[in-house]
């Protein structure tokens, strides 16, 4: 397993084509806006090497028998699924943001199932290709970006009917040694912190869409892959010299549009090629795993609840009954989210490939709750924090000889607490509910792993209504 330092050095060896603010980023690792997101990924390497977290953060490879980072592991039993949820909460609490490795982990596990299923039906050798690739990822402890979401264009039209065929990633040429693909993947979390890009179809396909039914993996700096960084609220605060106004000066996340401009993919790295019948299965398995992965929001919720309690104490309001009740409600909502990710893991089952998958109904119920509860937790945190969270002057004003004394005097709360500490905790709440971390906590809670309606569709499909009606009729004395 890599150390955080080795991970950073491995990124320096990549030659990524990254653009931000209209210019190419020459040094991705040290860019002040991107760097906090790299720190968050590096934390996954650090935590895996700490003895107290070994059981949660590492696993034994079912291929080699070696100890590996759990983010590269294929779930072998229910205990693995449960530990995945615990790892998500642990890392969310440690970073207060998205730590960016869940998508790749979920892509690997989904492919371990679907490549096996394709082979059984079609007589292909995708699973053996995949297992060789997995061994490579595990051996080098790599970060994989799971790339599923296409731009989609006109949502009412399937891929093959789009005015621009590139709005869904597709095969444009078949060669003796591989294929050439063109298109893009949007909202790619942690993309420029990744060693590998694992591409998957984004929706179920039909025969006319077979050129879009493709899955493969490539090095993140493969020729023709271009990254355009997304904006985040308050992102340019990271360019400032001080730390106070960043809220969380240590960690962060990022998203990017990843463009595939006629990119060559060798056959040995292709895991689906025109098997359109299995595109929906890959999407469903990946989505179920990734909806479980929102255990991370419980960990970030822990940070926000701790910040709200601290703010109440710094304000001298912690004994107010309404404040106590709001903290209770925040904990109730957060622990309810934890119940969801643990339950779908505990009810997991083994697929024919040997891989364990979560209970898909409960995974979707869990993610549906994640689209709602963090927003209420954030609202209550803002309520407790007070308006100063968004009217506070800049760090430079606190340091200024002309204004610093007045700010220290008039922004004091509890006299036992330094004014600057009160400002730090308020800035953290701002960061988690309005700033850069709000992308990973709130908006990602809403749209990550599929929009709320996607989960509702799956809940409707997976809920066993026939069994529920049977139970009701039996107790009513109805004999049909």
List 97, 144, 296, 344, catalytic entry: 296
Residue 255 annotated to the active site:
yes
Pair of tokens at residue 437:
């971390």
Residue 224 zone, left/alpha/beta (φ > 0; ψ -120 to 50; rest): left
Q: What b/e sequence results for 468-479 when a residue is b if at least 16 CB atoms lie within 10 Å of its CB, and e otherwise?
A: eeeeeeeeeeee
List 8, 196, 395, 444, catalytic entry: 444
CA distance 48 to 58: 6
List 290, 371, 395, 430, catalytic entry: 290
Numbers of helices and strands, H then E, in the chain: 19, 14
Q: Which residues contact 192 (CB under 8 A, 6 or more apart)?
A: 16, 18, 28, 34, 220, 227, 229, 254, 256
Residue 310 annotated to the active site:
no
List 102, 144, 341, 344, catalytic entry: 102
CA distance 354 to 77: 9
CA distance 8 to 19: 20
Say which DSSP state 88 is in: H
List 8, 196, 255, 284, catalytic entry: 255
SS3 15: coil
Among all chains, which residue has been given the structure tokens 């190419």?
24
Pair type for strands 270-273 and 256-266: unpaired
Give the number of other Cβ atoms within 10 Å of residue 325's Cβ. Answer: 11
List 97, 98, 341, 344, catalytic entry: 98
List 189, 202, 433, 436, catalytic entry: 189
Residue 290 annotated to the active site:
yes
Q: What are phi and psi of 40, to 5 degrees?
A: -65, -40
Say which DSSP state 177 is in: S
Are the C-beta atoms of residues 422 and 221 closer than 8 Å to each other? no
- Give the closest residue to 185 by CA, choosing from 223, 227, 217, 143: 227
List 53, 227, 289, 294, catalytic entry: 294
Residue 415 annotated to the active site:
no
Residue 296 annotated to the active site:
yes
Residue 313 annotated to the active site:
no
CA distance 340 to 371: 13
Residue 19 annotated to the active site:
no
CA distance 256 to 20: 10
Output Rg (C-alpha) for the chain, integer angstroms. Answer: 24
Half-sphere exposure of 456 (CA within 13 A, CB side): 6
Residue 294 annotated to the active site:
yes
In terms of Cβ atoms closer than 10 Å to its own Cβ (0-12, 13-18, 19+), residue 230 is middle
Half-sphere exposure of 10 (CA within 13 A, CB side): 22
Active site members: 98, 102, 189, 255, 290, 294, 296, 444
């Amino acid at each position: 397993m890599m150390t955080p330092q080795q991970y950073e050095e491995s990124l320096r060896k990549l030659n990524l084509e990254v653009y931000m603010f209209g210019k190419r980023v020459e040094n991705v690792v040290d860019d002040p806006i991107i760097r906090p997101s790299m720190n968050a990924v590096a934390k996954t390497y650090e935590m895996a090497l700490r003895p107290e977290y070994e059981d949660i953060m590492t696993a034994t490879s079912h291929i080699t028998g070696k100890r590996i980072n759990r983010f590269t592991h294929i779930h072998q039993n229910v205990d693995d699924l449960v530990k995945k949820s615990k790892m998500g909460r642990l890392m969310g609490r440690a970073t207060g943001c998205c730590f960016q490795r869940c998508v790749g982990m979920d892509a690997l596990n989904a492919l371990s199932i679907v490549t096996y299923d394709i082979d059984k039906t079609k007589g292909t050798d995708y699973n053996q290709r995949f297992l060789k690739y997995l061994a490579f990822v595990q051996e080098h402890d790599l970060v994989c970006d799971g790339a599923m979401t296409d731009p989609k264009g006109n949502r009412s039209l399937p891929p093959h009917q789009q005015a621009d065929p590139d709005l869904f990633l597709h095969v444009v040429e078949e060669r003796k040694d591989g294929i050439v693909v063109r298109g893009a993947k949007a909202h790619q979390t942690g993309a420029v912190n990744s060693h590998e890009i694992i591409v998957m179809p984004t929706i179920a396909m039909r025969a006319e869409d077979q050129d879009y039914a493709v899955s493969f993996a490539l090095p993140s700096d493969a020729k023709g892959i271009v990254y355009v960084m997304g904006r985040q609220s308050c992102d340019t605060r990271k360019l400032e010299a001080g730390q106070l106004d960043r809220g969380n000066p240590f960690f962060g996340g990022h998203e990017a549009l990843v463009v595939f401009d006629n990119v060559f993919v060798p056959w040995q790295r292709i895991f689906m090629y025109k098997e359109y019948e299995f595109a929906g299965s890959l999407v469903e398995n990946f989505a179920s795993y990734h909806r479980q992965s929102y255990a991370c929001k419980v960990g970030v919720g822990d940070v926000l609840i701790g910040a709200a309690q601290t703010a109440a104490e710094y304000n001298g309001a912690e004994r107010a009954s309404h404040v106590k009740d709001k903290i209770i409600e925040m904990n109730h909502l957060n622990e309810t989210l934890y119940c969801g990710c643990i339950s779908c893991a505990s009810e997991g089952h083994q697929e024919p490939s040997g891989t364990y998958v979560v209970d898909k109904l409960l995974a979707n119920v869990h993610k549906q709750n994640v689209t709602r509860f963090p927003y209420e937790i954030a609202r209550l945190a803002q309520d407790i924090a007070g308006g100063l969270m968004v009217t506070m002057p800049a760090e430079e004003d606190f340091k200024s000889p002309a204004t610093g004394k007045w700010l220290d005097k008039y922004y004091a709360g509890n006299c036992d607490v330094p004014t600057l500490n009160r400002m730090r905790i308020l800035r953290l709440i701002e960061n988690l509910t309005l700033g850069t971390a709000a992308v990973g906590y709130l908006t990602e809670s809403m749209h990550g792993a599929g929009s709320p309606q996607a989960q509702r569709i799956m809940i409707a499909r997976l809920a066993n209504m026939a069994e529920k009606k049977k139970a009701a009729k039996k107790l009513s004395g109805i004999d049909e």
